[in-house]
């Protein structure tokens, strides 16, 4: 009988996403974060190298389920070709005057991203993962405000920082990430890449 090590037995916090890799886009999103900071918005800001569009959050899963997720994602991307995605506009969940999450949205290509998220969701649910509790909303998180951290200035700061377009990039892959929560913010590590 083979003993399972503590490390293998620990669940892995995972999610599926489309990364932002265009240097021009990353710089434009960093600039939006800086403008929001200068307007007095206090948030835990997403690090520039970690900008992404989450397609599905799997949460903490046993290490044995990572292979199941990989096989499902292979099926999900089969036949899904690459496409261009524009990042445009800013907003907040649940709403600007009670912001908890600050985000950038999608312009052209947003419908293709939604289709891709649907494929990912369908394949993972078919493989036994629980369905998402809410409908998919295409967004890229820029920062998270602590409870009670929203101020009346947030809505105005979002209006001043928004751009009709931050830019665009080709979407060529879906990535299964590991997320390690640390005191200075989460660290995302790619576990597998799935080319479109």
Work out the number of other CB atoms within 10 angstroms of the CB of residue 177: 22
**Can you tell me the distance from the alpha carbon of 119 to that of 117, in angstroms, rounded to the nearest whole number?**
5
Tell me the three state secondary structure of residue 125: helix
From the candidates 52, 56, 119, 168, which is the catalytic residue?
Answer: 52
**Can you tell me the distance from the alpha carbon of 71 to that of 47, in angstroms, rounded to the nearest whole number?**
29
DSSP conformation class of 100: S
21 is catalytic: no
**Can you tell me the distance from the alpha carbon of 164 to that of 86, in angstroms, rounded to the nearest whole number?**
10
52 is catalytic: yes
Query: Phi and psi (nearest 5°) for 186?
Result: -70, 150
From the candidates 139, 145, 167, 175, which is the catalytic residue?
Answer: 139
**Can you tell me the distance from the alpha carbon of 56 to that of 137, in angstroms, rounded to the nearest whole number?**
11
Give how far Cα 162 sits from Cα of 38, 78, 97, 101, 104, Å: 14, 35, 16, 15, 8
Cβ burial 53-66 (10 Å sphere, 16+ → b, else e): bbbbebeeeeeebb
Residues noted as catalytic: 52, 139
């Amino acid at each position: 009988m083979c003993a399972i090590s503590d490390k293998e037995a620990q669940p892995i916090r995972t999610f599926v996403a489309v990364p932002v890799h265009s240097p021009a886009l990353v710089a434009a999103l960093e600039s939006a974060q800086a403008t929001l900071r200068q307007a007095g918005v206090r948030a835990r800001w997403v690090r520039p190298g970690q900008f992404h569009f989450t397609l599905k959050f799997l949460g903490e899963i046993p290490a044995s389920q990572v292979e199941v997720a990989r096989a499902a994602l292979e099926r999900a991307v089969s036949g899904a070709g690459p496409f261009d995605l524009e990042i445009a506009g800013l907003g907040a969940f649940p709403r600007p005057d009670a912001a908890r999450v600050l985000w950038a949205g999608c312009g052209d290509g947003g419908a293709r991203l939604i289709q891709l998220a649907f494929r990912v969701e369908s394949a993972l649910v078919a493989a036994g993962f629980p369905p998402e509790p809410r409908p998919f909303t295409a967004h890229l998180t820029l920062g998270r405000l602590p409870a009670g951290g929203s101020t009346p200035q947030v809505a105005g700061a979002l209006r001043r920082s928004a751009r009709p377009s931050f830019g665009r990039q080709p979407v060529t892959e879906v990535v299964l990430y590991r997320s390690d929560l640390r005191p200075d913010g989460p660290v995302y590590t790619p576990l597998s890449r799935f080319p479109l």
